[in-house]
Amino acid sequence: MSAMRQQRAKLFESILRFLECCLVLSLVSDSIGGCAGIAIPVNRVKKATPKVQCPHYRSKLACGCSGFSRPNNDDTFSNGVIQSDMPGHIETDDDGTEYLVIDDMMFPRSPISQSSSQADQVIADPNNPNYKLDLKFWPGGIIFYNIDPAFSLDYSNEILNAMQKIEENVGKNHLEFKKAKTSSGAICRKGYLFVKRASKRQCRAQVGMSVKHTYVWLHPDACPFGTIQHEILHALGRYHEQCRPDRDKYVTLLPQNMAAYECANYYITMDGPDPSLKLTYDSASIMHYGSCHFSCNGAYTMIKKSDGSKIEPNRQSMTKLDVDKMRALYPKEFKVPYSESMCAEDGVVEKRGKKTFGQSCRILIIISICLTWMWSSAFV
């Protein structure tokens, strides 16, 4: 048995020495780059991959766009209605209204019935910057609003703060926000701004005032403070900055990097008189896209023409040019002072004709008490 154990011990020792030898050989071969006849793995230099300029891009969409000048004729905007030959796609809202959709800009396609109310009149003087409501600037610079009660109190306050910030920046002598309904329930303007809770994670707005309703759709999880301002400015008549007719003088589009389905977002869609076009282009505007917007492959979709640099998206605050352009759209000389009489036509007057029997009795009792007091005082 002892001889058997000695043989096993020698065999085990031989195995250990063999493994030690293999280890030494592997270390030596790594240091000298390997030996002939032995396949030793070496660290190969990986091929350089193209630098991804945009970390978040739409890789599942096809690439390529063309034809970014305005492809439609002068009849695109006809009586306040956008025709079907505009780029974009058609969607129907919950209330059955059809909209032409260009990114977050919504244009109602149903005819707009004009109201006889003074507050809803379309300005017909071509010398007035508010003329021709293709961009529907708000008459008198007063934006009446209502906020969807479906929003939480915190988010409703965020919307109010965004309105207040716009008002502070532009100045109340140019525009101001007022509640669309008074405490008595009177409606100040039929075409008021209604900030509606979006059913999907979307941030959208109609461009300019509409006589029926002017919608801004917001989702609390998708639309932070700066984006709220962006959408409200759409409702006040501002297009995206890169939609300006002079866009190509200031930025270079890279259509090969754009998602094909989003091409309409880069068409020049501005139409009608717009005093803000007299001011210079602003790539830092809160209304401008960034270089990575709608990228299909991680490369830039748009760069500055001056030096080829990246355009950083601004969804924080209005620039000085943003403020100046809003002042151009809403000049001081056309600002109308707010008064409660603006809210009397559709609300208070209507309510006066609907007094109940109990209300009439109370009024008669008050009058009787007053007459009795006056009669008794006369004989004191």
234 is in an annotated binding site: yes
Band the pLDDT of 376: cuts 50, 70, 90. low
Q: Which domain holds residue 133?
A: 77-334
230 is in an annotated binding site: yes
pLDDT in tens, 308-319: 999 999 888 999
240 is in an annotated binding site: yes
Lowest-confidence region among 60-74, 215-229, 239-253: 60-74
The secondary structure of 175-226, three-state, reads: CEEEECECCCCCECCCCCEEEEECCCCCCEEECCCCCCCEEEEECCCCCCHH
Whether residue 14 is predicted with pLDDT greater than 80 in this model: the reply is no
Of the candidates 323, 267, 350, the one whose C-alpha atom is nearest the C-alpha of residue 100 is: 267
- Per 3-state DSSP, the chain is made up of helix, strand and coil in percentages (nearest 5) of 35, 15, 50
pLDDT in tens, 147-193: 999 999 999 999 999 999 999 999 999 999 999 988 888 888 878 99
Whether residue 29 is predicted with pLDDT greater than 50 in this model: the reply is no
Name the β-bridge partners of 91: 99
Q: For residues 211 and 123, is the Cβ–Cβ distance under 8 A?
A: no
Does a structural domain hold residue 322?
Answer: yes
Count up the domains in the chain and report the number. 1
Is the model more confident about 241 or about 45?
Answer: 241
Task: CATH number of the domain at 81, please.
Answer: 3.40.390.10
pLDDT in tens, 65-90: 876 765 444 433 333 333 334 567 78
Whether residue 30 is predicted with pLDDT greater than 60 in this model: the reply is no
Q: For residues 159 and 299, is the Cβ–Cβ distance under 8 A?
A: no
Does a structural domain hold residue 32?
Answer: no
For residue 134, the model assigns a pLDDT of 39
Residues 6+ apart with CB under 8 A from 141: 174, 175, 176, 330, 334, 335, 336
Does a structural domain hold residue 190?
Answer: yes
Instruction: Provide φ and ψ at 358, rounded to 5°.
Output: -65, -40
Nearest-angstrom CA–CA distance, 43 and 156: 59
Whether residue 351 is predicted with pLDDT greater than 80 in this model: the reply is no
Catalytic residue numbers, as ranges = 231
Nearest-angstrom CA–CA distance, 168 and 159: 14
Does a structural domain hold residue 355?
Answer: no
Does a structural domain hold residue 347?
Answer: no
Does a structural domain hold residue 378?
Answer: no
Does a structural domain hold residue 2?
Answer: no
Residues 6+ apart with CB under 8 A from 238: 207, 276, 287, 325, 326, 329
